[in-house]
Structure formats: C-alpha cells, structure tokens
Amino acid sequence: MEGQDPGHSQRRHQPRHSGPATAAARFIRRLIVLAALGCAAFLAAGMAYGDPRFAGVLNFRLGSGDQSASRQGDSGQDPAGQDSAGQDPTGQAGQPGPDRRSGGAQAGASAGPDGTVGAPPPGREEAGTPLGNPEPPAEPSTSYKFLAVNSDGAPVGYSPCRPLHYVVNASLAPEGAAGLVPLAIQAISKATGIQFVDDGATDEQPSDQRAPYQPETYGERWAPLLISWTTPDVTPKLGGKVIGTGGSTYYSYGTGPKSYVTGSLELDAPQMATELERPDGTAYATAVILHELGHVMGLEHVTDPVQLMYPEIGAPDGLAAGDLNGLYQLGRTPCRADL
Ligand SMILES: [Zn+2]
C-alpha cells in the first residue's frame, strides 16, 4: 500500500492466554489481548506538493482467547469498527495538501511461544477515583473520533485512576529534541487528567511484538509506555515518509470492557532532526509528538483539517477544540482495578 494508501494502519494481535489455576481462572482463560490501534505520522519532507503519498500497513486480528492464536495474517472484522486493510478512515486519499502528512500504523501486544499473554497482578497503583480532574474544554466540539469503543459506545482509554508510566529511549534524539516529549506529555495530561510518571531512560528497542507485560524488565506491572527515538532500520514501519507511529494495547477479560494497559510511540530520529532544522521545526516536531500521543491515548484521525488529529500535520497549532474534547472524554473512562 505504500505510495497509495492514505492513511491508517492497524495491527491487531489476538494472543491466547491460559490463566493460572486460581479461582479466577475461568475468567483469565479467556483473556483477550488485542493490540490497539494507532497511527503513524507521515512526513513528506522533500516531497512535492500534490503528491500525497502515504505509507501504511494494515493487519487485523480478532478472535477469542480460546481460539488458536496466530500473529500473522488477517482475520477480518474488528469489533471496534475500525477500518480494514487498504481503507482510509479519513477519506483524504489522493488529495493534495500540505507537504507534511500523517497516517496510521500501529504497534501491538505480543504473545508468548505458546500463544499466551501474561498479565501482572491486577490493580497496581489503582485508586478508587480518577487521579486528575481536568476542566472541560472551553470550546465544545465533536471533531474527534476514537480508535476503539466498548460495547456501550464509551471510548477505550487508559484507566484514569492510576498513573501512566513512561520510559524514553532517547539515545538517538536530535539535540534539544528530547525535551519536547515532556512538554507534549504535559499538554496531554492537562487535557485528559491522566497522570504521567517519567520512569526515566530505557534501552528497550521498539517492536511490533512488544509484550505488554515484561516482569523481568519492569517488574510486576504493565510495561510502561515506550517512547523511542529510533530509525527505520530498527522500526521498519517508519520507512518512507513515516515520521512517527503511536498506539496502545488494550486488554479485556473475555468480551468484557477493554482498557489500554500500555503503548508505544516511535519517532523517526533522522527525519525529526531534519524537520527541526526548519524555521518552524520545533512547533512541527511538537505537533508530531502530540499527534502520536493522541493516538496513544485513543484518538483516531478526523476529517476536520483544523484538528491536530487530521492526518496531515500541516499547520502545527497544537491541540484544537476537537482534539481537546476527545482527550477529555478519554480521561473519563472507567477505573480498572481488575486490570
Ligand atoms: Zn495519525
């Protein structure tokens, strides 16, 4: 689809979990981990106007925890009503536009050798009420869309009742660029009320097969959000015009409600370095990070070009009213002491 597909990429893994022989085993056996949806930002630096190419790969997976799980191939329907391969959720295919674009791609959960996915003891750091209490956006707007929704129509998001830890692999970050991440996170935190905790540097490399639970590395908790300054060599989905990717992994018990438990955000360090040399480079780089964080939190692209979640980041004015209203909703998803 490279060079044609305008937009969105998703990967969905559906590993199987066989729970421990506890009282909860009847639930845990049907754990479903589905890689969440995300998106890649596509950069058209050096690309001619009117050549709105996008790159992306779509790969859906869906099934119950009891089904044989494979992490390859495609299995069709997405319960969240997401797009299937080759479709553009924004309808912007082929339209000329700014020379900076974003599209979709995603990172996902991984299964163990037997197709199972581990989970930490539930409820770590979970409070009884949301940790933040953001003010509703000043300007109402419905120009937002969620990557996934539960059966009641509520968006899939992170539990607002526990902090969202993150680690950064900034070894390849352009000079002065690493500081843009905390500023973007601050803006997302203000909009959602989600409390972020900087767990510092990591040497973990991004991977589409990243396990959401890595007790050897991060202890008995969901792995933190991994933010990586990386390269297309390490992260092939950053190839071509893609400047960033981001997404989260949701978790559910059987057909129960889904919530995100971890995520990842990858930034193409060489491309970002080039962008940062432009006069508006800092604003643009910040917009890319915010856009990808928007995907991490659960926002989908929109067709309204005013919004930062528009798939073309041409006028990096920061979060707009639709983005802010969507993020506000994502900060009001249910607490999840059971995850
Ligand atoms: Zn995007």
What's the gap in Å between 84 CA and the centre of ligand 1? 16
Residue type, 198: D
pLDDT of residue 117: 63
What's the gap in Å between 337 CA and the centre of ligand 1? 30
Residue 124 has phi, psi (to 5 degrees) of -65, 125
Distance CA 54, CA 5 (A): 5
What's the gap in Å between 104 CA and the centre of ligand 1? 5
On the question of pLDDT at 95 being above 90, the answer is no
What's the gap in Å between 309 CA and the centre of ligand 1? 6
Token pair recorded at residue 202: 């990591």
- Domain coordinates of the chain in residue numbers? 25-330
What's the gap in Å between 178 CA and the centre of ligand 1? 20
Contacts of 194 (CB under 8 A, 6+ apart): 131, 132, 158, 160, 163, 164, 188, 297, 330, 331
Distance CA 178, CA 3 (A): 30
On the question of pLDDT at 108 being above 70, the answer is no
Rounded to the nearest integer, the mean pLDDT of the chain is 73
Question: Of 104-108, 162-166, 219-223, which range is least confident?
Answer: 104-108
Q: Which CATH class is domain 25-330?
A: alpha beta
What's the gap in Å between 280 CA and the centre of ligand 1? 20
pLDDT digits (tens, 9 = 90+) for 266-286: 999 999 999 999 998 999 999
pLDDT of residue 311: 87
321-330 and 281-297 helices, crossing angle to 10°:
40
pLDDT of residue 293: 98
Residue type, 124: R
Mean pLDDT of 289-306: 96
DSSP SS3 for 254: coil
Q: Chain centroid to CA 114: how far?
A: 26
What's the gap in Å between 202 CA and the centre of ligand 1? 25
Helix (H) or strand (E) holding 260, with range, is strand 259-268
What's the gap in Å between 295 CA and the centre of ligand 1? 7
What's the gap in Å between 64 CA and the centre of ligand 1? 28
What's the gap in Å between 298 CA and the centre of ligand 1? 11
In Å, what is the CA distance from 28 to each residue of 17, 32, 251, 267, 286? Answer: 7, 9, 11, 35, 40
What's the gap in Å between 263 CA and the centre of ligand 1? 15
What's the gap in Å between 210 CA and the centre of ligand 1? 20
Q: What is the DSSP string of 126-151?
A: --SS-S--PPPPSS------BS-B-T
More confident residue, 154 or 96: 154
What's the gap in Å between 122 CA and the centre of ligand 1? 31
pLDDT of residue 315: 55
Cβ-defined contacts of 137-140 (< 8 Å, 24+): 137/191, 137/321, 137/324, 137/325, 137/328, 139/321, 139/324, 140/321, 140/325
What's the gap in Å between 20 CA and the centre of ligand 1? 38
**Residue 176 binned pLDDT confidence (cut-offs 50, 70, 90):** confident
More confident residue, 212 or 56: 212
What's the gap in Å between 24 CA and the centre of ligand 1? 38
pLDDT of residue 92: 22
Distance CA 205, CA 230 (A): 8
Q: Which pTM was predicted?
A: 0.72
What's the gap in Å between 28 CA and the centre of ligand 1? 33
Neighbours of ion ligand 1 (CB under 5 A): 39, 102
pLDDT of residue 320: 95
Q: What is the DSSP string of 159-220?
A: -TTS-EEEEEE-TTPPTTTTTHHHHHHHHHHHHH-PPEEEEEE--PPP-TT--SB-HHHH-S
**Residue 151 binned pLDDT confidence (cut-offs 50, 70, 90):** very high
pLDDT of residue 178: 86
What's the gap in Å between 7 CA and the centre of ligand 1? 8
pLDDT of residue 257: 96
Q: Chain centroid to CA 268: how far?
A: 15
- The answer to whether the beta carbons of residues 243 and 47 sit under 8 Å apart is no
Contacts of 277 (CB under 8 A, 6+ apart): none
